[in-house]
A = this chain, B = another copy of it.
């Protein structure tokens, strides 16, 4: 920049203005400066120096609590990241990826990242990387939860959505059954009748159970009689297994599943009973497979959430509750 100033016969400041504050320089001077800059192969202010001076990097960190390839294997994650990317494009912000090593995100990388804010994807409670991010004093936003102190959480109202989708699933049902995510890190497979949601450790599981319970009660069903199958994870096999193992004991006429995968697994086992209307099934996520299978489910826009998360992490004051809808298809009775 100094070189350009010398060559153009002006002060450094004028060059700086020519690039960053066009209105503060006469048009003529500006043109001349820009021309000499071009001739000298100077393409504009150095971003690093700019940020140092301004105290703002214009970069946003995305922390993946998994290996990069692994994180992007999940289509949901991709939509979320894509939302972040869009927000970054709009605000001319850079996207810095902080993927996991084999053994957790290196805390020093999070701390040292030259960024204005952080977005986290699927953190577990007490993640040291999250703590490190919060400790930097820069805005932090995490998708889905958990809500650690100091970090904003962008998510949908799980309880309300659960109640709403359950209302569809429970229409005309007398013997419903719930396919749940694990209750806690133990990830123990077990069946509990009418569990107390408040005693469930995982927030997502807790909130959805609350919604299911509300819908069940509203439908005049006794929560205490409803079997909740806690699985080890959100896999199709898990949903299928729940049905094979438990169907004889308690033949359900409605299945509320916390994910499309679980629901799809159940549907494999249920077969034609779903099509005939003998059993209703609802899922969660609105995956493409769910659409193909005609599954009634909860749709949330992860893309929208990505945008919101990015804006929060960039310091905007935005409402963090995202929208959701229940997509009613053929897997439920009307």
Enumerate chain A interface residues (CB-CB to B < 8 A): 43-49, 51-52, 57, 59, 67-69, 72-73, 78-79, 81-82, 85, 89, 92, 94-99, 101, 106, 108-109, 111-114, 135-136
Contact = CB atoms under 8 A, between A and B. Distances in A.
A135 B59 CA distance: 22
A98 B109 contact: no
B101 A89 contact: yes
B81 A114 contact: no
A313 to B, nearest CB: 15
B94 A99 contact: no
A167 to B, nearest CB: 32
Residue of A72, A78, A79 contacting most chain B CB atoms (<10 Å): A72
B69 A81 contact: yes
Residue of A59, A85, A96, A136 contacting most chain B CB atoms (<10 Å): A85
A47 B96 CA distance: 14
A68 B47 contact: no
Given A94-B96, A95-B99, A97-B95, A85 B67 contact: yes
A67 B82 contact: yes
Say how many copies of this protein the assembly contains: 2
A135 B96 CA distance: 22
17 contacts: A43-B135, A43-B136, A45-B112, A47-B114, A48-B51, A48-B57, A49-B52, A59-B96, A59-B114, A68-B81, A68-B82, A69-B81, A85-B97, A89-B106, A94-B97, A96-B96, A97-B97
Given A85-B97, A85-B99, A96-B94, A112 B44 contact: yes
A85 to B, nearest CB: 4
Contacts of A113: 47, 94
A98 B89 CA distance: 9
A51 B69 CA distance: 28
A48 B136 CA distance: 14
Given A72-B78, A89-B101, A111 B59 contact: no
A113 B50 CA distance: 12
A100 to B, nearest CB: 9
Nearest to A107: B43
Nearest to A67: B82
Contact of A43 (B45, B48, B52, B111): B111
A89 B94 contact: no
Nearest to A112: B47
A109 B85 contact: no
Nearest to A80: B69
A79 B69 contact: yes
A51 B113 CA distance: 12
A35 to B, nearest CB: 17
Given A78-B73, A99-B85, A114-B47, A92 B109 contact: yes
A292 to B, nearest CB: 18
A84 B59 CA distance: 19
Contact of A51 (B67, B81, B114): B114
